[in-house]
Structure 1
Amino acid sequence: MFLINRNKRFKRIIILNKVIKKEIRNYSEKLKVPEVNIPFSNGRNLNISTGQYARLADGCAVAALGDTAVMVTVVSKTKPSPSNFLPLVVDYRQKSAAAGRIPTNFFRRELGPTEREILTSRLIDRSLRPLFPENFNCETQVICNMLAVDGVNNPDVISINAAAAALSLSDVPWNGPIGAVRVGLIDNEVIINPTRKELQLSELNLVISATKRNLVVMLEGNANSILQQDLLKAIKTGTKEIQNIVSELERLQKAFGKPKRLLETPPELSEEIIEALKSLSNMRVREIFKNYTYDKLGRDYALADVRTDVLEKIRASFPRVFEEEKRCDGHDFDQLRNIECKVDLYKPLHGSAMFQRGQTQVFCTVTLDSNESALRLDPLSMLTSGIKEKNFFLHYEFPPFATKETGRLGPIGRREMGHGALAEKGLAPTIPHDFPFTIRLTSEVLESNGSSSMASVCGGSLALMDAGVPLSAPAAGVAIGLITRYEKSKGSIEDYHLLTDLLGIEDYMGDMDFKVAGTKKGITALQADIKIPGLPLKIVMEAIQKAADAKSKIIVIMSNCLDKPRTERKDNWPVCEKLELEAHKRPRLLGVGGINMKKLFAETGVVVSQVDDTTFQIFAPNQIAMDEAKEIINKLLTTEKAPELEFGGIYSATIVEVRDIGLMVTLYPGMPPALLHNSQLDQRKIAHPSVLGLEEGHEIQVKYFGRDPVSGLMRLSRKVLQATPK
């Protein structure tokens, strides 16, 4: 009996050990970091992993390309928001520690978001937002933290892929995954995810986000007036590369992703309520849209009367264009609104223009200043973008009165920053690299009824030409809209219409806002905001062609106002000249502590900046100030001919100033003071000239040893004339 019980205990122990070993093995397998390596056609790999960091978040993924790595977390509340839109927030943050740097601000810590961080956040947001379910309105936050940056690979595209992975792995409802690549064009060869150096040589900088089956969800980029066929080739190549990313993310999601939450299905309206809404609103809405005499405000006021109770019915009525082949303002699908242009609006401005397209109006001004006024980037943005400073930048403003609203005027918002950056990309390739001035272009939206950013490109181009900036070609921009009959059950587009020159209401109720800017020759910038889960390449290509046709028409209209940059100088145009100066004459020009240059700026407004050892740049606000400054500079540099000093000669020097580090002395009248350092005053080591009893006005004997070959300063010594102490 004892043996039987003992055998049973042994069997239980053996079984228990097997169970424990199995649990340990399963637990250790869970600790392994699941990851995928995604190869690109250029031989480089994108690594995406999960399960190691931030495991309390709904989803987390780390993506790395080269030695640049970004971690993205997703957290979403389970309770729906009372709002009728998706409260999605995307925050991209650059950390100085990721580059092995300490922040240079007073607090030595990261402060508010920089412009680059805001623009990258918007880029990621526009890639993710179209794929959230229509009835999902839970507050969701996506945070992108830069873990490491190598200065070679740009972290923005890596962040999009990491965010797509984090959302796919989470339980947050999302119809992804997507993939993203950056596409460059060097010597007519398409480059996938070019490095920072390759991007500087590229004619194209295009970011593409797409789903499987080559459905594009986001486009943004700038180009050096590339041909349309080159852009189409780049888009096709990029979407093809993305398919590999999407398939690998699907595999990762299938193996390690959480089950998606169930969405709360909104209650459906009964047939009786729908019929009642139709009887109350259908005719009113149709009459509003058929009345082509309405302008923006008139139409808005009319719709406001019925909007509260029948907004969804208005959405349903919007596709009436399919039956009536007319837009709500009476224009055809490909028809531009009326365009008016004016330049040289106010004499004090270096350049100015007003551009009006329908009820969208922008007022643009150009200010030319010295290179000292260039926009300098923070050190981390320099490292990630490869740009140290910008000599051309565009500032976009959208005050509330532009849409007949009230609001607080404060710091620039994300939307304004994004619109300004897009317009800047559209104009930058037309500006010569060797232009001697810093250019600040401002665009203030005075009226808005759709596509104010593209109006800023048109008005900005006119203002730049009015300021005499030698543009390579005029640039213009246009927005292309889209309305579709989208079959949700099939996930496909049954019918569609593209709309040239998008209205505000068409942007609000439509399915796409595709902005394209460029010259007659080619495209300089583009940005696509897509509101349905992906567009076929066929529609993307059609939209680009319609934008090219409209862009050419707009440039013709603009040329009737001003067809080329002004060559006749305005009285208030700034002047820039270079001054070649021998190294030893620099102290005579600058003065002690730069006092001469400070006085010159105070008297004339002229700025003198040093280019290299022998070259200075003189910037004057106008020709009169330049003439005054040149007269003052000539007086500073014109002195009696200096006597030739003999190397090794002994001369009498007059002390003109006593400093902590030595004496300032002159050897002859009119000579700029030269420094006689403490180390050359006496055989003994001294801390201050006063210990030798030397004062201003005293004369001492010094030996002359020529000039320093680099600085051009005199080399003098009093010490060598003293007897060596015994």
Structure 2
Amino acid sequence: MATLANFRLVWNGKIRLLEYYYGRCRTKFLYSIHSNRFSTDWNASNISATLAGGTKTLVLSTGKLAKFADGCAVATLGDTSVMVTSVSKTIASTNSFLPLVVDYRQKSAAAGRIPMNFLRRELGPTEHDILTSRLIDRSLRPLFPNGYCYETQIMCNILAIDGINNPDVLAINAASASLAVSDIPWNGPVAAVRVGLIDNQVVINPTRFEMQKSSLNLIVSATKKNLVVMLDGSANIVYEQDLKKAIVAGVKECQGIVQAINKLAELHGKPKRPMEEVMRIDDDLKESIKSLAEIKLRDIFSDTTHDKLSRDNAITALRNNVIETIKQSIDNADLTAVVETFGIVSKEIFRSLIFENNKRCDGRELNQLRNIRCEAGLFNPLHGSALFQRGQTQVLCTITLDSVDSALKLDTMSMLTSGIKEKNFFLHYEFPPYATKETGRTGPIGRREMGHGALAERGLRPVLPENFPFTVRLTSEVLESNGSSSMASVCGGSLALLDAGVPISAPVAGVAMGLITKYSKTTPTQIDDYKILTDLLGIEDYLGDMDFKIAGTKKGITALQADIKIPGLPTKIVMESLSQAIAAKSQIIGIMNATLSTPRTGKENMPVTEIIEVPVHQRARFLGVGGSNLKKVFVETGVSIHAKDDNNYTIFAPNEMAMKEAREMIDAVLKEEKAPELEFGGIYTAKVVEIRESGVMVILYPNMNPALLHNTQLDRRAVMHPSVLGINVGDELKVKYFGRDPVSGTMRISRRVLQSSGAPVVKNFTSS
């Protein structure tokens, strides 16, 4: 029994020892699996691209941040860094359009700031965020393959801002890199640079301080083989040849960044996933629709008597007839496919007619403008107004002038990146549903309206005077729209500014250019033929390949924006479009000048501004207690008064009559009899008019505002109250005058300094 017990004890001990070692090994094994599965690899892969001049280096990296995203890249220039993630669903949506969303946010933490709102956190996107999101979207969208219908989101996260290098161009390059390294189908990469023009020299990616001296702010997005994908810029009346030089330099500079992104994708990118074609075009269905609709579509697109509505109605009626015919001839027909195929057939016929006839659907030549009508000064109560009609695009522009204190204050982050604190000219663009015979809810401004308004504002800003004493708000309301409403806003806005008497340096006009291309059948990426269209129609924008907007004066260009819908344009086509647009722009300005070419003068309802100087010693009387005098002037006359500096105040009146009334009130407040000149160090007789805790109020001459003789200046002894010295109202005291306080303007007088031996010589105002 003892032997058996010992055996069991030894055996149990061995089992426990084995369990102990097994447990340790299992723990190590599981820890190894856990650490391998959830390990954090901090080694990012970097690729650098040296920019023009060799003084700046753009660094692109991936593999360190946001690994769950389909693609992530960080772009760094100087100490500014932007992280962009790309995520796409793997199940296609039922939409026939590309469901791409770009979200760009400038966070205060990136600049070491705290948001100055109630919650002290970022709220909705700012106007600058939305405009930059549109900029990125227009650079990426043309390079997605046809038929791509997967919901895709590009999120741009600003990691750090140094206040020198602008993050918007970095965001485009980082977005391109994130798509390139992802498994999302995309025909990129695309690269972007900012081009400045300083002393007629092209500068690539200028700093914020260099941009203050630049006459051009141009962003160029381009892909391989020097193909332009997007242009967006503003200029201070830059000549055509200088702009072309800048575009060529920008496209050339983009090639090095494209190579860097390609290298990053080759080394660290994922294989592109196969793309399922949601809407596969059935050749038999296409031929059936062609046989049913081609002749009628040709008739509709060739009928120059059609306007926008009649043409749309004719196409809609034909499409409905085709659908009914297909439903009767094919059982269980896919109506969605029928509608999509009908759209494709319509697009092909519309484009082929332009190549065949060198004419457009409204009968115009390729470089011909629509009929233009202008009218200014529509409503007398308005400071300025104008109606601009180009074809079936009609825009009403109004001008409101207000004081400089009504300037638009920018948010902190926009100030940091642009260097602009406030804007005294801004344009608000409105596109109501009735402009296209539609219904819809009206509410906050949309991204499209914000983008169109910003473009029109950039087109007009360079011609406004620098030190204009008013804040200018231009409202552009689109009443009818059939293409190029933003450029119509530029034309109407220029006329409205002239009607308001704003001394602009030159009239400004804008025009939109279109493009129809024909690609080679043997080489699908090569353009065999193309037609450039001047003064774009809505249908030409919808079925065409480009919307290139150019605004400027007769001398030069002030703004441009190119939305290209195909995967890049050769610079040759861009330059031809630009030259053709400049010729059309000059023609439009000639038509506008026939209506109004110089600023109006003598309008009765024009606001008036003046600057008055208020001496320091009269400031308290001028302002009143708590600014009561200024409030009284505003309530009774509508005139606002604001401090410009220590001695000067700006008066803003809605009209000349109100200014006259306000000046009378101000003069009455400041009116006083001419005071005798007091001699510094002179001794005068002062009469006590009031006893206070801090001293006595005295006057040195009749009708004088009482001055304080402080307790510390009453006697050589320390005095807590004037009654200690037996001073009463009406007593006369000898005081010495030491001038006025430079800040408050109050008299500095003393009785204490006279309490010494020797009879003082007292000045008498009644004597000579």
Instruction: Deviation per CA, 1:515-565: give whole Å up to 9, x if none.
Output: 000000011000000000000000000000110011011011111111222
1:409 aligns with 2:420: no
1:513 aligns with 2:547: yes
Corresponding residue for 1:313? 345
1:279 aligns with 2:291: yes
Instruction: Deviation per CA, 1:242-296: give whole Å up to 9, x if none.
Output: 1111101110110011111110135644443222111221122111111111111
Distance 2:269 2:247 in 1: 30
Distance 1:204 1:263, change over 3 A: same
TM-score w.r.t. length of structure 1: 0.89
Corresponding residue for 1:155? 167
Distance 1:465 1:500 in 2: 26
Distance 1:630 1:272, change over 3 A: same
Partner of 1:138, secondary structure, is coil
1:588 aligns with 2:621: yes
Partner of 1:254, secondary structure, is helix
Distance 1:180 1:147 in 2: 19
1:255 aligns with 2:267: yes
RMSD: 3.2
Instruction: Deviation per CA, 1:19-78: give whole Å up to 9, x if none.
Output: xx9xx9999996421012211123111112112211111111111111111111111111
Corresponding residue for 1:430? 463
Instruction: Deviation per CA, 1:74-101: give whole Å up to 9, x if none.
Output: 1111111111111111111111111111
Distance 1:657 1:184 in 2: 67
After TM superposition, the structure 1 = structure 2 runs for residues 540-689 of structure 1, keeping only pairs within 5 Å, are: 540-566=574-600, 568-642=601-675, 667=699
Contact conserved, 1:651 with 1:704, CA < 8 A, in 2? no
Distance 1:413 1:672 in 2: 59
Of 638-647 and 528-537, deviating more is: 638-647
Partner of 1:596, secondary structure, is helix
Distance 2:692 2:363 in 1: 82
Distance 1:496 1:676, change over 3 A: farther
Corresponding residue for 1:235? 247
Instruction: Deviation per CA, 1:483-528: give whole Å up to 9, x if none.
Output: 1113485312121111100000111111100000000001100000
Instruction: Deviation per CA, 1:425-483: give whole Å up to 9, x if none.
Output: 00111111021111111100000000000000000001101111111111100000011
Contact conserved, 1:587 with 1:672, CA < 8 A, in 2? no
**Structure 2 residue corresponding to 1:95, chosen from 107, 111, 129:** 107
Distance 1:537 1:188 in 2: 21
Contact conserved, 1:656 with 1:673, CA < 8 A, in 2? no
Q: Structure 1, unaligned stretches of length 5 or more?
A: 1-20
1:331 aligns with 2:364: yes
Distance 1:25 1:581, change over 3 A: same
Of 539-548 and 64-73, deviating more is: 64-73
After TM superposition, the structure 1 = structure 2 runs for residues 114-513 of structure 1, keeping only pairs within 5 Å, are: 114-266=126-278, 268-307=280-319, 309=339, 310-319=342-351, 320-487=353-520, 490-513=524-547
Distance 1:325 1:664 in 2: 95
Distance 1:664 1:508 in 2: 83
**Structure 1 residue corresponding to 2:559, chosen from 507, 521, 525:** 525
Which amino acid counterpart does residue 447 of structure 2 have in structure 1?
R
Distance 1:271 1:420, change over 3 A: closer
Distance 2:711 2:263 in 1: 74
User: C-alpha displacement at 1:368, in angstroms?
Assistant: 1.0
Partner of 1:47, secondary structure, is strand
Distance 2:441 2:355 in 1: 40
Distance 2:453 2:180 in 1: 32
Contact conserved, 1:212 with 1:246, CA < 8 A, in 2? yes
Distance 2:712 2:101 in 1: 63
User: C-alpha displacement at 1:646, in angstroms?
Assistant: 6.9
Instruction: Deviation per CA, 1:599-628: give whole Å up to 9, x if none.
Output: 111111112122222222211111111111
Partner of 2:667, secondary structure, is helix
Which amino acid counterpart does residue 522 of structure 1 have in structure 2?
G
Distance 1:666 1:115 in 2: 59
Distance 1:550 1:671 in 2: 70
Distance 2:616 2:429 in 1: 43
Partner of 2:512, secondary structure, is strand
Distance 1:555 1:26, change over 3 A: same
Distance 1:700 1:397, change over 3 A: farther
Corresponding residue for 1:41? 52
Which amino acid counterpart does residue 532 of structure 1 have in structure 2?
I
TM-score w.r.t. length of structure 2: 0.84
Contact conserved, 2:298 with 2:350, CA < 8 A, in 1? no
Partner of 1:463, secondary structure, is helix
Partner of 1:72, secondary structure, is strand
Distance 1:667 1:192, change over 3 A: farther
Distance 2:577 2:719 in 1: 80
Partner of 2:212, secondary structure, is helix
Which amino acid counterpart does residue 356 of structure 1 have in structure 2?
Q
Distance 1:655 1:509 in 2: 87
> Which structure has the greater CA radius of gyration?
2
Distance 1:487 1:714, change over 3 A: farther
Distance 1:219 1:266 in 2: 32
Distance 2:150 2:706 in 1: 73
Which amino acid counterpart does residue 388 of structure 1 have in structure 2?
K
Contact conserved, 2:424 with 2:470, CA < 8 A, in 1? yes
Contact conserved, 1:654 with 1:700, CA < 8 A, in 2? no
Distance 1:386 1:307, change over 3 A: farther
Partner of 1:288, secondary structure, is helix
Distance 1:31 1:675, change over 3 A: farther
Matched length: 693
Distance 1:657 1:227 in 2: 72
Distance 1:379 1:699, change over 3 A: farther
Corresponding residue for 1:63? 75
Distance 1:576 1:73, change over 3 A: same
Distance 1:699 1:386, change over 3 A: farther
Distance 1:585 1:213, change over 3 A: same
Corresponding residue for 1:537? 571
Of 141-150 and 483-492, deviating more is: 483-492
Contact conserved, 2:518 with 2:529, CA < 8 A, in 1? yes
User: C-alpha displacement at 1:673, in angstroms?
Assistant: 7.6
Distance 1:466 1:410 in 2: 30
Instruction: Deviation per CA, 1:627-661: give whole Å up to 9, x if none.
Output: 11111111111112345567687956666999xxx
Contact conserved, 1:58 with 1:75, CA < 8 A, in 2? yes
Contact conserved, 1:601 with 1:607, CA < 8 A, in 2? yes
Contact conserved, 2:713 with 2:750, CA < 8 A, in 1? yes
Partner of 1:79, secondary structure, is coil
